Amino acid sequence: MKGALDWLRVKLTRPVTITVTAEDIANGRAANSQHCPVALAARRAFSTLRLYVFAGGITVHPSDLTSELWESDTNDLRNFVRSVDMGLEVQPTTFTVRLKDFRRYPIPRTFYLAPEPD
């Protein structure tokens, strides 16, 4: 059990940097939690397709039994997501997020990956 607690402790203190590129902005879709510019960048940072972006943070599903909530300590992520969703022009940027919540589920949860928009 000690190994699991050490792993979680490291994860709680280790921030993750998400770099949104001009390509992410060009290919991202507004108001799409799995295909917005931040989601495209977060896929690289977390090495998974299993995530959702919302104005308050990013929910990552490393497995069918767990989920993680990552949030920024500032409003920069929230403001960027809202600007994209409102159709405002945005520039490439970087966000630092930290793990705020970790959940383990007793039974596997189904993760729905939305199809790539046309």
- pLDDT reading at 6 higher than 70: no
Confidence of residue 66 (pLDDT cuts 50, 70, 90): confident
Give the C-alpha separation, 41 to 36, whole Å. Answer: 9
* CB neighbour list of residue 16: distance below 8 Å, 6 or more residues apart: 45, 46, 70, 96, 97, 98
Show me where the domains of the chain are located.
27-104
C-alpha triplet 58, 62, 63: angle, nearest 5° = 130
Supply the pLDDT for residue 41.
Answer: 97
- pLDDT reading at 17 higher than 80: yes
Supply the pLDDT for residue 56.
Answer: 87
| Token duo for residue 105 | 């589920």
- The predicted model scores a pTM of 0.82
Supply the pLDDT for residue 49.
Answer: 86
Supply the pLDDT for residue 87.
Answer: 95
